[in-house]
Structure formats: structure tokens, C-alpha cells
Chains A and B, each alone.
Chain A
């Protein structure tokens, strides 16, 4: 990002006149140099210390920009600009810079500030703003990731690019996901425009929005075709819609005589009132692809009762509504069916709904594509499969393995924790709190029972072997130490785990360290074999960070209360082991290097 220089007045409060000077803003700090070199009002402030910014409204008395500092440090830096456009340039710039730092600063609340190392910014690469935004969004959404980022990137252990390199898939996911979601049609019948009257005159008002027009096009292909044909060659768009509304009005009032008269006079108007032949064609095309188990059209020719004049004509069940008038045939039911069909098909185009003409053309294009894709064979096959699947009675046989989409939980731990919490809460609510006690009794009973059984078997031996005795013994031995250690602390409630019993702080720390170690180890192991100086440095940095955590873990282990110490050490053990393995690897590598290139005084691999 560029650097901005702008003339401004600096003031400590809004009231005072202020010191004129030049405000110079760069990516990480802003400098104010007063015009009068003797003035003491020089400023050199890092943006990290800025919490937010306020500004006066455009057109208000003064063009102010207030960069507020952390609350505990108090106050802010107020700048007055000559005009609003200058102010706005600065405001936008500050907004961007602050936005960038927000991810970092927001996580700073309950932690002590991490010493800043200039090394962190050395490796910063040129990034597009979209990329930046994406990363920031990810950090925002995932608090854990944010913590890691803060600890390692800001802490200088990893560079920004190193950190993100292992998370490319996450970034790509975000990219892919955004455009996929496409809004469909609204369920409401917009095309059924209702006129409003003002009550005094006979005037009727229809109001059409681009959304409504789009729906009209989709639901009434005849209107759509007419629009493409007539506008703007034959009439203006306004005339077109006036005519349409007029036709709709005639239709609504069910005044078929008037409608017929108007249609006879005006052929363009007649288009709107006539039966839609495009729809009829579409229906004919679609009916061939319909599921044969609900194809009622096939019946028409199959029984002779449907021949004219056969069967009982007038017994009240069949109502012969004679189509006396071609114009009055469109009914509400047809409209409803058509509307639901269109909604179900979904919106097939991605144009802005602003311009009617482009929307109409895009719709026409998408329709053409739709018509050409007809792979009859395949659909037929699918249909047959579906029919055979539907005929089967489901509970009389083994379930089918249906294709499923894998469940994707972004933050599994958070999800399961919350689920567990809910479950526990629900249990408490329903008054089933006695249940866990019950359960523990049962385990004890089971335990004693098992003991008895085992002793019995020891005495008498097994007659009929269900399992191999060696295997059983092995399993029992494996289980026993665990049982003995956790018997009195664990297993009382099935939903409980060791972590929940620890003090909150210890638990959080442990979890946090665990993720940090994972992150570090991932980077550590991926750095081998060391081929460049850069990697060497990285490993060094990683090793330092790991040692730091190692010590922290030891501290936790010691600081924890005695009754939890065993559990904590159990938890910490695998972490320490993993770290030990890494250190061991590092040491052997180091030795190898030194023996191989012992003559090189600095030990660096070039």
C-alpha cells in the first residue's frame, strides 16, 4: 500500500484550534510533522496502538478524523482537514490498515502483549487485497486459528507465508464456496400482480419491479417472447407493460366479453390473453419423460370409457366445463402449477436484474441450452432404477447403501463440546440427574462380577472358550492399570472426560499447547531434509519455540493441584514425547551435519 501525505491540523481535543502540519500515513504507522518546526506536537504513532477511528459526517462543520487509542492509554489523535474529500482519503486508508490489524489486535485482550519482532515483517510478501481479506475472514471465523496465528506469526516463529502454506485448502475452500450459493426464486407469487386503487378515482395502479418482471418472463414464455419481439422495435417498454397490465386487469375481473372485444381490436394485447402455446409444447415434451408410475396421460387411451359418449356423462362427478372461449381458459390452478414449477426449476441465470432487456435475453439463452440437453437413454435408465427402488418395501429387507455426503465440521472440538454441553444440560433439565449415579453403581457391580468370574475361571478353568485366554489376559492387563487409576475419578458419568475436571485455565492452556505443538511439529518435520539456509533458520526458530512450550508444559505439570497431577501428566506425556522425538531428531541431524562438514567453521549448510 502506498503512503499518504495530507495537510491537516492536529488537536488533542475537538474544541482547540489545533496545530497545522502534514499527516503522513504508511502501512504500519502515521507521522505528524507540524508546519512550525519548533512545535512540540510531533507524532510518530504505530497503528498497532490504534483501536478504531471516528469521523464527522460529510457536510458537518468540521472535517474531522479521530484515531482512538487503547482505552487504558486514554485519548486519541484528532485531525482536522481542510475539506471532506481529503479527510475521506485518509479515513479510507486508516480503515484498511486497521482492518488488517484487527485480527491481531482483537485477540490481544486477555493475553499479555507479545514482544514484537521486526523479523515478522521481513518476509511479508506482496498480497492482493482479496487474498488478505480471505485470510482475515478465516482468522475471524476460527478463534483457534487466530490464536495460533498470533502466537507464531506475530511471535516471529513462522512467517506469514509459511503459516498459510499449510492451509491452502482452507483458502481455496472459501474461494469455491462463495459463488456457489445462488438465490432461487421467491416462493411468493410475484407474477400475480395485484392492482391497487386509490379509492377516489377509477384509476388502477400496477407496480412492477425487476424481480417481478423476471418472474413474469420465467412463468409466461409467451409474454417473454412478445417482449423480445416487440420491444423496442414496435413499442417502448413502458407501452409493453401497460398493455400487459391491461390484459391482466381484464383477466382478473373475469370479464371475458370485454377481454374478447379488446383482444379482437388489439393483436398485441391478444398475445397476453391467449393460451400459451410455448407452454403446451413444453408440456408435450416433458410428459414423455415423466415417471411411468404416475403417467395418467397414458390412461387416456387405454380404457374405452374415455371415448366420447361412453360411460356415465352427467352424474355430478365429472364436470364438463366447456371451453366456450379460448381466451378465458387460464385459471388460477394453472397459474399456481406453473409458478411452482418455475420455482422448483430454479433461477438459471446470473444477471443483475436491473435491465429488463438483458434479463429477457439471458433467459432466452438459458432456455436454449435447456432444450438441447436431452439424453433420453440415461434418464430412462435412471427412471427405471427409481421405479424399481420405489416398488420395494423398505422394512422387509436390508437397507440400501445410499450415496451420502460426508459430514464436514469446521471446528470439531467446538461442535462436540457444545453438543455435549447441550446433552448434559438436557439431562439435567429432564430431571434424569440420578442416572449417572445409577450407572456408576452398575459399573462397580460389573467390575466385582467380572472379578468373581475371573477368579472362578482361574480356579476351574474355561470349559468352552469364547475367546483365547491369552488374548483376554492381555486385554484385561491393558485395561486394569487404566481402570485402577481412573476408577474413582472417571466413568462416573459417561459424558464426562478428564479435561472437564481440570480447572478451566489449565484446560485451555493444555488444549492450546496441544494445537500449538501440532502446528510446530508439522512445520518442523516438513522442513527436513534441510537443504537451504532458510530452512535451517526456520528449524532453529521452531526448536526455540518448542523448547519454550516444553518448559511451559513442565510448569503446568508442576503447578497443577496434586489430585489432578496424575491426569495432567497422562495428558501431557504424549505431547512431551512428541517434542522429545523432535528434539532427538534435531540433535542427531545436527551431529550428522557437524561430522559431515566438520571443517566448516560455522556449520551452516550452504
Chain B
């Protein structure tokens, strides 16, 4: 369908539209008009993504100059695939003259088609295997020697030949390219899909990639450097964006890291000696380049591009590298001293917490390395490794980590802390010392994004309380709004279960969670539900260890065997491959009508981005409140920082964080208004007002007072009633004054009569 929002013609790929989608688009358009950032919370299951894509694409078509580019950030690759699929649907509804180019970008591992490189298993060996074939010096050597003597990548060579005649020669025809499409295209044409995609993001109208490509300064430097200001950046499913920002700037150093770094340094010293003997001019040339400043890094060959400096402000890049680390040997000895110092710090018996200022001072006095030298470590290492023509970069990860750490600690004085722990709190008998540089200020990583691009849109199903995010991320949204869901029928049914079948309270509170009565009550709840609910059921637990424990207990008690009489059981494990296969099988079991239960972990990978819509999830049970591990030193340090800087109370933040996770877990059951699902919050603490009120409004509005304090048998009764009600035919378009489904005519009528809107 096609309709007008003010002066923009919006192309929408469906025959009908939800009113909240329309409102969402209106708000979005205002934000784009104002060229400002915005924050929008809309319930899951109302077609957020398609509304976003459709409005921004239409907006770009309506205002062709300056060309507006959409950078769409997803958290995971599979979400990227989903977004591209929606984009493809939208594309088929655009007028043929308005076709645009959209593509997904991922790492070499997901895009490479070279069979030799692919045979290496992990990401880093794919990266370094690629470099081994495509680094500029390798190619130079291959050009000098007879063909075949030095292996190169045929895909990259043919791409390079094609691209050398100008960017038009490799320009992709308009369309939507998923990772699979890019790979297929690469195989067909013999071009390297990875470098093709890297090249194409300059010309593409829509780029879909992972958060890290904008937030992690190391990656953002090379991938997103050339994006112009006229970009709309969308962070979808952004309820965890503060955690992503924090992780992007956090580094930890373990004993293995230091040992590895020592080995790396040793090898680099050997390389330097070799170069001194054979090709001393290279080292001299590097020295001269460093005198002129690092800013010249810009014109490196495409394939040599490196993860760039972690978050150095631009003005620093114009400075020259300090004189005392310009010579390769000097720099190596600085690194050696640093590694030695860190080794000394790790040999502590107690937990130590330090601010970066103190740490830098101590490094300076004990190892003789000042702040400026620390700050340049990462770039200096990068330069040195290029000079030494090191291709097997995955061997040198350890020293990179050390330099990363040094640069961060030398750059930021605020918002970080250094925590040294001699062992893991939960396993005190195993010595495993860790030095962690942890970032507390989420705004540091996202600041360049807000500064650089004209509109940044942060959206998710759970952004409650919506006023907290601008504070955490330190920005001023022009529009910040939370939408509710207009429903034709009550298609979600949240319940709070506080008591088990024996009327005793259930909770995952620390003192209660291992109580066999609670474990049994939780098991009985699941057992009753698998017998009553058709198709798929998803269970979320508070942590892996808790899940393992309770599943084992259920197995011993025989509850698991009874559950298996009704449904197959699949479990998320820490092994990603196994979890993926389990999910795939779970879906198949739901498809074929067998029915299945999936056990998963809140804050785990599955909770992050897998949808359990339609028959894949008719019921979600959230066992317990997913609080963070409150004894963690890092969390304590972060809470302290939040209290001092933003005046956010510890308890409030913890509850907010736990409830947004819980809401995120249960929110995955709804995809559209035709869909339906139940949500059981199984913990007595949910019935307390201070916890419950932190849930997003669209869940709260369906949480009746009668459903606040249930026991297993009552919940079962409600579930049966609900399922029976949902099985009845209903009027999709909504009746009476409030329509829940709008057709093109409705929208046109609304356009004529703006007073009558909603």
C-alpha cells in the first residue's frame, strides 16, 4: 500500500497497517525532519522493523539530495538475515524506478568463499589465512615470481582486476543482498564477496551490520570511516545497548595472555634482527614515517587495513608518535617492561580495585612508561607489524590485547576502573588471576556515533523506563516516546505465579533456590503446562549453573521423564553450535506437531535474538528474576559509578536491569496481532509493586490484578481458558470506534480529517 505522511509518500509492503505502526512512522518522520536523535519503544509483535525500514527508505526516496543512507545495526548475524528478508519484501513493493542497493556486511568468516581459507575453523584463522593470501607484500612477491610459486587468492585477484578499471565496473545492480547472496554472487563471478561488500557499502543506500561495526572503535575506524554525515543510524533491539558499549571498551588480561605476549615479543625481536641484517632500509623508512605522524595511515592498501586504534580522539592522531618508541627495538623493550609489570600485578593475593589515574602513575614510576607512550601503543604495534610483514595475525592476538589495554588506560581517566582478582569468586580453590579494565560509562563508546551522524534512532520492545536511556548514553533525543499496543483481543496473557501446587512460595532468591520443594514446584508447574499447552514452550532460567542444577534435579526426581511423555526437550548449552542445532530441531519439532520445550538462559545468546513467535512459543515461563551476579566486582564498581555520576540507586538499577531482561525474554512470543502467547513469571518477587512496575507498559496493561498471585493450579486453569478463547475465530480489523487494522482508505480518510486521528 502507499500513503502520505505529511509530504512523504510512504511505500508499505502490506495491504493493511497497524495504527501504532502509523504513529511510529509519524514520530520517526518528525525526528528525521528535525535531524535529531530519537528513542522509541514499541511492543514486540507490532512490526517495528518493517515500519522503520519502510519509512526511512520512503523518506530517502522523497528527499533525494543529499542522499540519505541508512545504517541499520543489529545485534547478531541472524537478526541481520531477518532484517534483510524484511527489506527484500519491502523492495518488491517499491516502484521500479526507485530501486536501491541494500546489503549486509559481516566478517571474512561469514563471507569468504575461498575453499582453502574456509578450511580453517575459527574466525581469526580465517582472517589471517586471508591476509596470508592477500596482504600487499604477498601480492607483490607473487607478482615478481613465476605464477604459482606464491599462493594468492584467485577471488581477490579477479575482484581487484575488475575494480581497478573504476568502481563502476564492480557496482552491484540494485537489490537486496544477504550474506548468502553475496557469497553466491562471489562464487558466480569469481570475485571476493568480502572486499566487494566492503567496497559496496560506500554506494549502498542501506547497510545492515552488527553493532560492533559502529560501536567498537577498533572496527568502526576502518569499516565506518567513510560514512557521510547524512546517515540515519538505527539501533534495533537496543535495550542492551549500554552493555554493548561497555563491553566494547573493556579488556581483561589473564596469565595466559601475558605468557602469549612474551612469546610474541620474542618472535618480533627475531624478526627485527632478521630485517636489520637483510633490509635495514624498511625499518628506517618506518621511523621516518612515524616522525611525520600516524595520520598517514589512511592510504594503506585495502587488504592491509587493521583493526584501528581503540577510540583515539582525532586530534591525537595528528600528533607524532613519541620519540622514545619510534625505534622498533625501543618500542619492544617498552612492551617488555609493561608485560613484566602486569605479571607482577597479577601475583596478588587480594582483590584490588584501582582508578586509571593511579594505575598510570604506578606504571610510570615502576616501569618508566608515561601516559603518552601508553596511549600510542596500539598504533605503534600496528605499524610495526606491518613493517615486519607479519601475516599470521591470530598468533599475535595476545600482544594486541596488551596494547589495546595500554591505549585505553592511557586515554581515559574517567569512567573506567581496573580490577585485579586472584580467583573467581565462585571457585576460590582454583587460582585464576585476572586484571580487568572495565568501562562503566556507556556514553564513551557511543559518543562518536551521536556526534557524527545526523539521526540516531534507538528502538526496542523494552526501553522502560524510557528516561533512563538518555542519561546512561548521555544524549538529547528530540523525540522519546513509548507506544502501546492496540489489540483486537487479549492475545497476550501475562501471569505472576507466586506459589507452587502445594501453596508454598516459589522463588530463585539465593536462600531458596536450592530448596527441593521449590525445585519440585517449578517442575510440577512445567509438567502441568506441557500437558495443557500445544506446540512450543520456552523456559528461561536465571543462569547456566542454575539451569544445569535444576535440570539435573528434575532428572533425578523423574519429572523430566514425565515432561518427555508430552514434549521433546531441548536445552541451550554454552556450545553455540550445539545450541543452534538444538534450536533448529526445536523448530522442526514444533513444525511437525510433535511439540517441544526449550530450556534457555536469560541474558544468554538465545534470549538475545531468537524469536519464539507463533507455534514456536505459545508459552514462556520465566523461572525466577534474572538479577545480575551481584557479588561481581565489576558490577559493584559500575553501580558505584552510576550512583556518583547519574544519581541512580543500586537497587533501582539492578531491578531495572533484571526486569528488562525478563521482559525481553517473554516478549519474544508475539510477532503479530494474529499471534498469541502466555507469559508466566514464576517468582514471588514479581508480585511486589517495585519489581512489577518496571515491566514495560504493554505487558503491565494486560496483567490483571487477578493474575498477580497465582498458584500452579490456578495458572493452569487460566491457561486452559486462554487457549480455548484464542482458538475462536475473531474479527481481525477490530470493531467499534478503535480500529486495530487500517487499510489504505482509512489512512486517506485520516489524512483528510486530521482532527479525527485516533
18 new A-B contacts, CB < 8 A, other than A290-B584, A317-B543, are: A189-B564, A293-B78, A294-B584, A296-B576, A301-B107, A301-B126, A302-B109, A307-B397, A311-B250, A313-B436, A316-B631, A331-B573, A340-B569, A344-B585, A392-B89, A393-B47, A393-B671, A396-B16
Interface size of A by CB at 8 A reads: 61
Whether B533 is near chain A, meaning CB under 8 Å from some CB there, is no
What is the total of A-B residue contacts with beta carbons within 8 Å?
253
CB 8 Å contact bits of A270-310 with B (1 = contact, 0 = none)? 00000000000001101100111111111111111111111
A339 CB contacts on chain B under 8 angstroms: 569
Question: A536-564: which have CB < 8 Å to B?
Answer: none
B753 at the interface (CB under 8 A from A): no
Q: With the chains together, A300 CA to B110 CA distance in Å?
A: 10
Residue in contact with B635 in the complex, picked from A189, A287, A315, A340, CB distance below 8 Å: A315
- In the complex, the chain B residue whose C-beta lies closest to that of A307 is B397
Is the beta-carbon distance between A316 and B212 smaller than 8 angstroms?
no
Do A333 and B548 form a contact, CB below 8 Å, given A301-B110, A311-B247, A314-B632?
yes
Cβ contact within 8 Å between A396 and B561: no
Q: Counting CB contacts under 8 A, is A226 at the interface? A: no
Given contacts A286-B581, A317-B543, contact A301 B109 (CB under 8 A): yes
A231 within 8 Å of B (CB atoms): no
Contact of A312 among B89, B438, B570, B573 (CB under 8 A): B438
Question: Which of A189, A296, A384, A393 contacts B561 (CB under 8 A)?
Answer: A189
Whether A310 and B251, one on each chain, are in contact in the complex, defined by CB atoms closer than 8 angstroms, is yes
Residues of the A chain whose Cβ atoms lie less than 8 Å from the Cβ of B434: 313-314
Query: Closest CB-CB distance, B657 to chain A, in whole Å?
Result: 11
Q: Which of A294, A301, A315 contacts B632 (CB 8 A)?
A: A315
Shortest Cβ gap from A322 to chain B (Å) = 8
Contact of A188 with B561 in the complex, beta carbons under 8 Å: yes
Interface residues of B in 525-579 (CB under 8 A from A): 543-545, 548, 551-552, 555, 560-561, 564-565, 568-571, 573-574, 576-579
A134 to B339, CA, bound (A): 86
Asked if A344 and B568 make an inter-chain contact with CB atoms under 8 angstroms apart, the answer reads yes
Query: Within A567-593, which residues are at the interface with B (CB < 8 Å)?
Result: none
| Distance to closest chain B CB from A464 (angstroms) | 24
- Cα A341 to Cα B723 with chains together (Å): 28
Docked Cα-Cα span, A189 to B85, in Å, equals: 39
Chain B residues whose CB sits within 8 angstroms of the CB of A303 once the complex forms: 210-212, 216
B residues neighboring A (CB under 8 Å): 14-18, 47, 50, 76-79, 81-82, 85-86, 88-89, 106-110, 122-124, 126, 178-180, 210-212, 216, 218-219, 246-248, 250-254, 257, 307, 397-398, 401, 404, 421, 424, 434, 436, 438, 543-545, 548, 551-552, 555, 560-561, 564-565, 568-571, 573-574, 576-585, 587-589, 592, 594, 596, 599, 603, 605-606, 609-610, 628-635, 671-675, 732, 741
**Which residues of A are found within 8 Å of B568, using beta-carbon distances?**
187, 340, 343-344
| 4 interchain residue pairs of minimum CB distance | A316-B629, A301-B123, A301-B109, A396-B14
Majority SS at the chain A contact face: helix
Q: State the Cβ distance, B90 to closest chain A Cβ, in Å.
A: 10
Q: In the complex, what distance in Å separates the CA atom of A393 from the CA atom of B51? A: 12
Given the known interface contacts A312-B247, A393-B672, the answer about A295 and B580 at a Cβ–Cβ threshold of 8 Å is yes
Give B193 Cβ to nearest chain A Cβ, in Å.
14
Select one of B574, B579, B583, B628 contacting A316, CB under 8 A: B628
A391 touches B106 (CB 8 A): no
Judge whether A316 and B635 touch: CB under 8 Å.
yes
- Residues of A with C-beta under 8 A to B570: 336-337, 340
Structural contact, B544 and A319, CB atoms closer than 8 A = yes
**Inter-chain contacts of A60 with B (CB < 8 A):** none
Question: Which residue from B253, B564, B580 sits with its C-beta under 8 Å from A187?
Answer: B564
Q: Which single residue of chain B is at the shortest CB-CB distance from A303?
A: B212
Contact B18 A296 (CB under 8 A): no
- In the bound complex, residues from chain A placing their C-beta under 8 Å from that of B596 are 340
Given A187-B564, A303-B211, A314-B634, A336-B574 contact (CB < 8 Å):
no
How far is it, in angstroms, between the C-alpha of A312 and the C-alpha of B636 when the chains are bound? 13
- Note all chain A residues with C-beta closer than 8 A to B210: 299, 302-303
| Chain B CB within 8 A of A470 CB | no
A321 at the interface (CB under 8 A from B): yes
CB of A417 within 8 A of chain B? no
Residue of A nearest to B244 (CB): A305
Q: Are A292 and B397 neighbours in the complex by a CB distance under 8 Å?
A: no
Q: How far is the CB of A63 from chain B (nearest CB, A)?
A: 48
Establish whether residues B569 and A336, one from each chain, have CB atoms under 8 Å apart when the complex forms.
yes
Closest residue on chain A to residue B634 by CB atoms: A315
Do residues A296 and B76 form an inter-chain contact, with CB atoms below 8 A?
yes
Query: Which residues in A have their C-beta under 8 angstroms from that of B15?
Result: 396-398
> In this complex, what residue of A is CB-closest to B606?
A296
A395 within 8 A of B: yes
Name which residue of chain B comes closest to A291, CB basis.
B584
Is A188 a contact partner of B564 (Cβ separation < 8 A)?
A: yes
Interface centre among B50, B126, B580, by most chain A C-beta atoms within 10 angstroms, is B580
Chain A hits for B126, CB < 8 A: 301
How far apart sit A307 and B218, CA to CA, in the bound complex (Å)? 12
A394 within 8 A of B: yes
Q: State the Cβ distance, B543 to closest chain A Cβ, in Å.
A: 7
